[in-house]
Structure 1
Amino acid sequence: YAEARAHLAEGGALFLDVKPFVQGVIKTKIKFADHVETARQTAVKAMKAGKTMVIDLSDVGTPDWKEKICGVEAYKKVFPSWMLSPDNNRECDKHGQIFKKEDKKDGPNGEDWDEHLNKMIVGYRIAYLSCCGPGNYEKDITLPFLPIGKWSAVRIKNVSPVRDIGIKALVTAIDETVHSLGKVPLLLDGTENTDTFLAFQHTSVIEMKGLILKKASIGIEGVREEMRKKLVEALKNGNTLLLRLTNSAPDLLGEYASDDCFP
């Protein structure tokens, strides 16, 4: 999330933080109406500069744009829903209350402000940025609250370089990956040496291929329950939790994830 945000900022994107809309004035110290004006100003700046306006959902999800902002009588003329439409870079309402007097300055080459806007707005884009995981993003973001149905989810992967290590360096490599990089190590080993080694290192093993085969008889809920038991075992005993995939590729963030069993 932080790297994606920094990369967008380097490209000149303008950011709109939605926390004042979602969390309210008590927590953010920002009045709702004041932040609607901030949203208007941010959108206008992005339109005039031909830049992307990134609506930063962070970890709070999206506000109910239709019911709380774009459809409210007090706000709908200064921040209508078309400002969040993917088609708004083709045309926009220049004569309403969106563009105020201070926004109607002539372009840098002496062009009329609206002519300059027509030229620049073709580069205007809307993007939503969230740090929610791909497994639960529909629930965490509250997708029905998004104002426009034309959107597509894009998952940004942070790919780490592959390192070749000897078996004696395995524990150190796992610790570095988890504690220093904050990531989950993916161990690639065509032999069974890693399995044998970890068996003597206080390891709780989830045999994913076996569970995939058992799914037909015990169902996905039964599989999740067995995964939960191994997770609890690892937590209670301070063990390493090993998801042994062998030659399988289960959808761990989708079908096998569950808030109640294996979040």
Structure 2
Amino acid sequence: MELFLLSNGKLSGDSQPLGYAHEQIKAMFSARNITSAVLIPYALIRTDWDAKALELEDALGIKVGSIHHAGVPSEAIEQAQCILVSGGNTWMLNQMLHEKGLIVPVQRAVREREVPYIGWSAGCNVATPSIRTTNDMPVRNSVVLPALGLFPVQINPHYIDAHISGHMGETRDERIAEFCAVNPSESVVALREGSMLHVSGNKLSYYSAKGEGFKVFRHGLETQEYQDTRALSGLVPFQCI
């Protein structure tokens, strides 16, 4: 299995999407002879989907086609060399994946045919068991919580532990702690901007463009920051490095 789960699509100052992960992604493309990808852009509500596909095509150096042009979306996944899942609104994205009948086709493509999955922000969220740890608003009345479950632990992308002056609401840490209190058997990996988890085969690694760590939240345990994935041993079925 090949998963790139990125906290965000761009860092401040980046001119290209996924710029901080280009080295790892393009190395994977080269090793697997990947020349094209299917973009799932459903999370993008105020962005032109074709424009996003062209932007990614230019940045990644491969042909990128948006799945909304496919007459039968599941067939586009069955023929895909690589799957790109954009950031945006997680609730919209997950709902559309279910409505378009793409949950099982994506799962089978990634798990059985080892088609690489690259998801950022909302695309990272939906790769986990559910979207209960998204930061987004449920913009539709009809919403679905279960997601793709490609990665077995909940992720909170765009994680920030700064305290904003004048903000009287709960911090991100407090919100994630609430999730763990309600779901004491589950853990949450908090990914800061410019960081990603990478599953390649049976190995799980972590990368941060800023040299920052990730946090792991567990109910009843002290939250700590880590620089490598050995902290996730026992939580995931991968070799953590």
Say whether the fold is shared (TM-score over 0.5).
no
Instruction: Please give the TM-score of this superposition, normalised by the length of structure 1.
Output: 0.31
Instruction: Please give the TM-score of this superposition, normalised by the length of structure 2.
Output: 0.33
Q: As a proportion of its length, which structure holds more helix?
A: 1
Q: As a proportion of its length, which structure holds more strand?
A: 2
State the structure with bigger RCO (CA 8 A, min sep 6), 1 or 2.
Answer: 2
Greater Rg, structure 1 or structure 2? 1
